[in-house]
Chain A
């Protein structure tokens, strides 16, 4: 499914990487095409060359691993702090899928075109390599999280990350989708979400979850949330 062209362009500075680009790249930034991404859109498939790289402004994209047994788990997520398609600048492909979890606006550019400028321009290169490092750390954090943290903690973390990405307390998500991302069964997510609702932290609606008490969620989340948020702050200050 091709992303649709969006009439009013979102502010590029809403993406942290684009906001940090030097003015010398202003002309080159004309290559960035504003698009609207709808939930469920697959941006790239496992082992597929990356056609376009995306800089999100208020959408959320998950990088998902799908096993041959049919189970899946999210290995990383990307919001307005980053770029979808890191493998494109590394000159490779990965066995993972990038799927839009929550729809929103983004800027896209052909992977090839970004790669060319990345190799040529030291400012762009340094910025994107710094982000790559942050992304590696984030993925490693998923490893720790999967090994040591409970579903309850991981659900809190995930909801908070999603909330930050779309800058809204209303998340259009089903338990089924969350289960696929956390690598668990839908029933387990329903139980965990039910506990959070009973504690007054969230409200579960049809196909959506409303966050009522983000501080309360943070208290129940694993440390991965604050570590991920710290990663975002580090990008902003660089």
Chain B
């Protein structure tokens, strides 16, 4: 059990929720739900990392938040009836799944669980807002670092199995820009990429090259505890 949100629950609540969870293996590219859909299941990732996406009318897609073992996927379905965003498995791995109606019942009656889920919603608000700021002001290099660091935080290993093309789509950048960026960081020894996998070699280098958005988002998620 690597999900840090669940681990932050007190013993009694942890046992209660654990009994409601089922383990599941999430495959890369799987669509968990689409925006506007009624969500049936929520996920607490252990290793998998999920992109929440929004799109424009003419088909441009952008990642608005990334969720991994720091939290829960589908929380907007506890706030309103339907999903706010599309959720796609970006990096595969294990997760725990729970039925929405089951979790909603506990959300309404378990004080501690409710408080933690609301705090997590706040950290998600900050992640979404800070990503908006990042998209406005920061370079593709800074954003590349921010995303890799966030993915690394949510992984169990130092490898991120993602193609540059996929990363370009996530960042709303051109593939060429991501290629140039990745190449530069590889030359500096910060990463090594081969066959669709980005290996993180020097995390500190990425932290120095990232914008402050990474710190802001991480600090927000770290504040979620009982």
Chain A positions within 8 Å of B, measured between CB atoms, are 63, 65, 67-69, 71, 73, 75-76, 86-87, 89-92, 94-96, 119, 122, 129-130, 132-137, 139-144, 146-148, 183, 223
Contact = CB atoms under 8 A, between A and B. Distances in A.
Contacts of A119: 111, 114
Contact of B132 (A90, A129, A130, A139): A139
A75 B115 contact: no
Nearest to A95: B216
B136 A139 contact: no
B121, B123, B223: most-surrounded residue (chain A CB, <10 A): B121
Interface in B159-210: 172
A143 B130 CA distance: 9
List the 4 shortest-distance A-B pairs measured between CB atoms, nearest first.
A92-B122, A90-B122, A143-B132, A133-B79
B125 A223 contact: no
19 contacts: A67-B137, A75-B132, A86-B125, A87-B125, A90-B125, A91-B119, A95-B220, A119-B114, A129-B80, A130-B79, A136-B84, A136-B121, A139-B129, A140-B64, A140-B132, A142-B129, A143-B62, A144-B55, A223-B56
B136 A94 contact: no
B64 A122 contact: no
Interface string B88-99: 000000000000
A74 to B, nearest CB: 9
B172 A147 contact: yes
Contacts of B220: 92, 94-95
A85 B115 CA distance: 17
Interface string B7-36: 000000000000000000000000000000
B133 interface: yes
B157 interface: no
Contact of A132 (B54, B85, B121, B223): B121
B135 A140 contact: no
A96 B54 contact: no
B56 A148 contact: yes
Contacts of A183: 136-137
A67 B118 CA distance: 26
Contacts of B131: 143
B120 to A, nearest CB: 9
A24 to B, nearest CB: 18
B136 A146 contact: yes
Given A139-B128, A139-B132, 10 more contacts: A65-B132, A75-B133, A89-B118, A90-B122, A92-B220, A96-B129, A122-B108, A129-B79, A144-B56, A223-B56
B122 A87 contact: yes
Contacts of A122: 108
A132 B135 contact: no
A133 B133 contact: no
A130 B119 contact: no
Contact of A76 (B56, B108, B122, B129): B129
Given A73-B136, A223-B56, A148 B172 contact: yes
A4 to B, nearest CB: 30
B149 interface: no
Contact of A75 (B84, B114, B129, B172): B129
A140 B137 contact: no
A133 B62 contact: no
Nearest to A74: B132
Contacts of A87: 122, 125
Contacts of B121: 90, 132, 136
B135 A90 contact: no
